[in-house]
Amino acid sequence: MSFHLNLRTHEQALRGVPVVVDVLDDGLHVVDQRTVRVNQRSSFDLPAGQYALQVTLPSGDRLTETVTSAPGSPDHDIALWEISPHESMQRTVVLKSGPAGGGRRFTEPGFQSLWVRLWTRVDGVWGVGAWPDAVAHWDDDAVAYVFPTGRRPHMLQIGGPRIPWRMVSLPAAEELEVTVQPAGDEQTPNVTLTVATEDNLAEATLGYLTAGAVTHAGLISDQAEDLLNRKTTNPAGAAVGGYFLLRTSSLERLHNWPRNLANWMQWMPDGALIHAWQLIREQQESREPVPARLDEARELLLVTVERGLPVYTEGLRLLVSGLKLFDFQAEGADPEIRDALDRIRPFVAAADLTQPTTSFLGSGPSVASTAPAYGLPRSRRGLAIVYDVAVADLVPLGLVEAGTSLWLNPPPVIGPAEAQMTPHGTVRLADGREFTDLFAAAAAANRTDIWYSWVAEDSGPLAFARDRARRGQLPPP
């Protein structure tokens, strides 16, 4: 007897994400625990009867369903889009903890003129680059960007008049997905920011580790060695695999790959750090520690600090722990270790250790701040507005000239609009956006957005100016 399970999605990028499922019989005994993959049919051979399926997503969220095992039972489908507020959010909701949608909207005053910019390190120097020509979705409860980061360190900076400036480390990816959501409350608005590479195995492993589900991470990460071995094609995934194997003390499964990661990917500090901790842990477990190996580990920790902050928060923790380990060993008398600790102390103090990638409050990649900065940067270089521009900022940002005449058009009447019903049950608008909610589809199709009703002389609806701001196309001062 058997039944079949499908975790269904119409988000292409989610296909194949490994997810852990527990099966309980009608007496509540756990009779099976295994990994299934999104959009792949999984068969469970179990005696006839009623079962409960407990699906633990990498985000840490748990879905519970009951199912009957009987001859000819139809497939049991779990629609992952039902837990996501938007089609564009499905991958984030499945993989990342936190973005549950707290009911806040970007249209609220606290989120006006919220901005982002992208910092890149080239030849050891950080600078703001042009805002990438990203694929983007702007919804009033979530904004998602997809852009490549390539083989060099990147940090995203986000801030606003009421949102403290924050730096977020971005892993190397061909297609990095960044999602920003409004959070906090009216008095203290904040944002939730998640980043995900295109590597589903690495992201699912990171998700389970962040949620505290090490066993689940272990179940899907039989291929953790594969992740690490793919270091040349996917260095960020290799780092995640390395951190997982360190966390589970699977030292023999690390092989000599951390050394290669450290040597071949010098732009990514995590490689040297993972190698340092591989050596430390090996010596700690050894009956006869070799001092030279510990010296090498010490050197690698110093190299890590020279290369910059680790991409992942797990790395930041390990970096501090490692440096303190050698600081204690030297009774505080090792000036190089002390200097390294002094260099990273402000970043650790300002870091948010609940985030998967290194995040800290700061006015730039090299400056962590204990007194958070607020407002718009004076420099407009590479600046993109996340959702709405505060009306007071339209002139200072050069989006509308002072003295420009405005007039108000009545909001458009609902309909008509063209759309198509898709095979997977969504309404697809002419511009390609898909919706499961007819009202949301109608609102989006008709642009019932007051920014389209206010029209500026010469430059058209204010929405056009806002759109330029969102795409990082602010005019030079």
Near other proteins by CB under 8 A, which window of 199-207, 252-260, 370-378, 416-424?
370-378
Near other proteins by CB under 8 A, which window of 128-136, 210-218, 256-264, 467-475?
210-218
Place of tokens 């399970």: 5
Using CB under 8 A as the binding rule, whether residue 41 contacts other proteins is answered as no
Q: Specify which residues 420 forms β-bridges with.
A: 428
Q: How far is the CB of 328 from other proteins (least distance, A)?
A: 5
Q: How far is the CB of 319 from other proteins (least distance, A)?
A: 10
Q: In terms of CB distance, is 342 or 458 closer to other proteins?
A: 342
Percent composition of the chain: helix, strand, coil (DSSP 3-state, to 5)? 35, 25, 40
Using CB under 8 A as the binding rule, whether residue 204 contacts other proteins is answered as no
Place of tokens 């990171």: 206
Near other proteins by CB under 8 A, which window of 37-45, 132-140, 268-276, 282-290?
282-290
Determine which residue in the list 131, 326, 435, 452 makes contact with other proteins, applying CB under 8 A: 326
Near other proteins by CB under 8 A, which window of 20-28, 123-131, 266-274, 442-450?
20-28
Residue 327 in tokens: 């600081």
Tell me the three state secondary structure of residue 223.
Answer: helix
Using CB under 8 A as the binding rule, whether residue 34 contacts other proteins is answered as no
Using CB under 8 A as the binding rule, whether residue 40 contacts other proteins is answered as no
Q: How far is the CB of 378 from other proteins (least distance, A)?
A: 25
Using CB under 8 A as the binding rule, whether residue 66 contacts other proteins is answered as yes
Query: Which string of x and - marks every residue 456-475 that binds other proteins (by CB under 8 A)?
Result: --------------------
Other beta carbons less than 10 A from residue 29's beta carbon: 8
Near other proteins by CB under 8 A, which window of 141-149, 234-242, 364-372, 465-473?
364-372
Tell me the three state secondary structure of residue 80.
Answer: helix
* Contact predicate 142/86, CB 8 Å: yes
Reported as type and span, the H/E element at residue 50 is: strand 49-56
Determine which residue in the list 75, 82, 174, 185 makes contact with other proteins, applying CB under 8 A: 185
Residue 392 neighbours by CB under 8 Å, 6+ apart = none
Using CB under 8 A as the binding rule, whether residue 102 contacts other proteins is answered as yes
Q: Specify which residues 64 forms β-bridges with.
A: 54
Q: What angle, rounded to 10 degrees, do the helices at 235-247 and 270-285 form?
A: 20
Identify residue 168 by its one-letter amino acid code.
V
Other beta carbons less than 10 A from residue 275's beta carbon: 26
Burial 344-358 (b: 16+ CB within 10 A, else e): bebbbebbeeebbbb
Determine which residue in the list 13, 134, 136, 348 makes contact with other proteins, applying CB under 8 A: 348
Place of tokens 């068969």: 43
Q: Specify which residues 421 forms β-bridges with.
A: 427
Q: How far is the CB of 116 from other proteins (least distance, A)?
A: 20
Residue numbers of the site for other proteins (CB under 8 A)?
24, 26-31, 50, 52, 54, 56, 60, 62, 64, 66, 97-98, 102, 183, 185, 211-215, 247-249, 280-281, 283-285, 289, 294, 320-321, 324-326, 328-329, 341-342, 344-346, 348-354, 361, 370-372
